[in-house]
Amino acid sequence: MTAKQSEMSLKACLILLLVALMALPVSASAQQGADARREAFQSMPGTQPDFWRDAAQGVSGRTQSNSPGADTLIMVEGERWREIRNHWISPGGAIALGGSLGAITLFYLLVGQVKLEHPRTGRKIERWTRWDRVIHWYVASLFIILGITGLSILYAKWFLMPILPTSVWGAFMNAAKNIHNYLGPLFALGVLAMIIKWLKHNFFTMTDLKWFAKGGGIIGKAHPSAGYLNGGEKVWYWIIVTVGLTVVVSGLVLDFPNFGQTRETMQLFLIIHAVASLILMAAAFGHIYIGTLGTEGAFEGMKTGYVDESWAKQHHDLWYDAVKEKSKN
Amino acid sequence: MARMKFLCDSERCIECNGCVTACKNANETEWGIQRRRVVTLDDGEIGKEVSISVACMHCSDAPCMAVCPTDCFYPTEDGLILHNKDACIGCGYCLYACPFGAPQFPKQGAFGARGKMDKCTFCAGGPESDPVIEQQKYGANRLREGKLPLCAEMCSTKALLAGDAAQVADIFRERVVYRGHRNSAWSSVEHEAAESEQLAQNAADLAYDATQSV
């Protein structure tokens, strides 16, 4: 290699270096520009119609709040719950309860009380033991208290609120809510005891089918045969088992909101609880009527535990025969 | 007559939670009660993450008011939905009906029983004539002092707007027009541009937006 050649290659290297140095700030600034652009892209949400569509459909995100359901921007189920509660359950319950009362009144006016066909003999037969009556009245009194407080929560704002001063109204409703919440579990225990205690009497038999066929004595003159419990009583028992337990279980879910139930769960169980308890109340009106005003001599059975011989013969002839047979032996 | 509204500009909210803190400070709410919260959707997803500050929206047809068993809610002349804690029984129905999760409940009783409901009052207090009791029960009544809710007043990017609906809407419409919506923002954005161009445009809009004082 000559000296000239090496000089030229040195020059070329210097030029290259210079070019490289000149190019450096240029490429660095180009890099900076790209970063700023990307940063803007990242920080810029670019809210699109899809975003609002998702939000309106109840999409969940992230939040610092610890409230249940706080990560959901819009909870869409609430509107449907409001609709069901205000437009179906409230009027529906009023129709069910009013209809039940109306039907009973009409029945009483048209048919009247079912009288004893034969005069009382004065001989008494034990129908309900002390335990039976304790359980019955325990559940019955709690049922009435829970019914009144529950109906207050659903309906009282329409008729009590306008006539009470706010402080009295608030105190009444607070008491209603607390009584309802605290007596609920006690009612549950009573219902459970009742279901277990009376299960053995409540299996349907052929006698009950015949009893239903004759409409429990409403159709035709002759009173259909019945054992210790007639078909109607058994139906009431199974209503308590199904509807009653539904009320109890849904009520317990609502009563203890400390197990992390979501708002959607509470909505669902509030609907179940309201519908089931309104059905139970409408049915209970019928039970109360038949057990008191509707049937002569029936109420004393649950009051004293004893019924008159002629009442037993008329309403529960098979049971009467069995008791008679037993006492002979 | 004014009709008060909140509006959270999702293009501006940076999830600083300043509104949440401001609210808690102004109203001295109980432990565990957070009247306002910031919800971030698509958190961490580049180009999609959006935050919105939400509290009681003071609905025109308020679901809470419709389902309340004690009818403790009442609308004010300013279009706010306030409630009377003396009548509240803490049943939680308002929470089940409210789309925005606004009602808050202090856990006071046994078995998770709820205390009296607490929610955003638009810094308008409640139905108490004594200001001291009003402050204790419902928090600040800034509206009476001619001030707007503290959450909006302290919002660092002015994403959260509060005030008369017409004025709030005007401010927001102006912003939206700056951002390139057509037809004076009365119609939706037309997506003709490619996504990257759109994002670049959005970025430019944001930069311009941030220089505006409104």
At A258 the pLDDT is 83
Query: Please, which pLDDT band fits residue B212 given cuts at 50, 70 and 90?
Result: low
- Its pTM stands at 0.84
Domain that holds residue B68: 4-153
At A53 the pLDDT is 85
Distance between CA B66 and CA A107 in Å, rounded? 37
Q: What is the CATH number of domain A77-328?
A: 1.20.950.20
Asked whether residue B96 carries a pLDDT value surpassing 70, the answer given is: yes
Which residue in A47, A258, A271 has the most chain B C-beta atoms within 10 A of its own C-beta, making it the best mutation to test that interface? A47
List CB contacts (< 8 A) between B53 and chain A.
none
Indicate yes or no: CB of A75 within 8 angstroms of CB of B188. Answer: no
| B114: contact with A, CB 8 A cutoff | yes
ipTM, 2 decimals? 0.82
Q: Please indicate, yes or no, if residue B129 is contained in any of the structural domains.
A: yes
Which residues 84-113 in chain A show a CB within 8 A of chain B? 85-86
Indicate yes or no: CB of A82 within 8 angstroms of CB of B200. Answer: no
At A30 the pLDDT is 45
Q: Please indicate, yes or no, if residue B89 is contained in any of the structural domains.
A: yes
Pairing outcome for strands A124-126 and A306-308: antiparallel
Reported for A204-210, long-range contacts at CB under 8 A and 24+ positions apart, including other chains, are A204/A231, A204/A234, A207/A231, A207/A318, A208/A234
Let me know: does A75 contact B101? Beta carbons within 8 Å.
Answer: yes
List CB contacts (< 8 A) between A79 and chain B.
63, 97, 99
pLDDT over 90, % of chain A:
71
At A147 the pLDDT is 98
pLDDT in tens, A135-190: 999 999 999 999 999 999 999 999 999 999 999 999 999 999 999 999 999 999 99
At B175 the pLDDT is 82
Which residues 172-191 in chain B show a CB within 8 A of chain A? 188-189, 191
The full length of chain A comes to 329
Let me know: does B142 contact B122? Beta carbons within 8 Å.
Answer: no
Asked whether residue A26 carries a pLDDT value surpassing 60, the answer given is: no
Which residue in B70, B137, B197 has the most chain A C-beta atoms within 10 A of its own C-beta, making it the best mutation to test that interface? B70
Question: Which two structure tokens, joined as six digits, stand for A89?
Answer: 């359950």
| B201: contact with A, CB 8 A cutoff | no
Indicate yes or no: CB of A44 within 8 angstroms of CB of B48. Answer: no
- DSSP class per residue in A143-205: HHHHHHHHHHHHHHHHHTGGGS-HHHHHHHHHHHHHHHHHHHHHHHHHHHHHHHHHGGG----
Let me know: does A293 contact A101? Beta carbons within 8 Å.
Answer: no
Q: Please indicate, yes or no, if residue B165 is contained in any of the structural domains.
A: no
For residues A143 and A59, which has the higher predicted lDDT (pLDDT)?
Answer: A143
Identify the CATH number of the domain in which residue B66 sits: 3.30.70.20
Tell me the helices (H) and strands (E) count for chain B, helix number first.
7, 6
Specify the number of domains making up chain B: 1
Indicate yes or no: CB of A78 within 8 angstroms of CB of B98. Answer: yes
Q: Please indicate, yes or no, if residue B158 is contained in any of the structural domains.
A: no
Contacts of B33 (CB under 8 A, 6+ apart): B104, B106, B118
Which residues 69-108 in chain B show a CB within 8 A of chain A? 69-72, 84, 86-93, 95-101, 104, 107
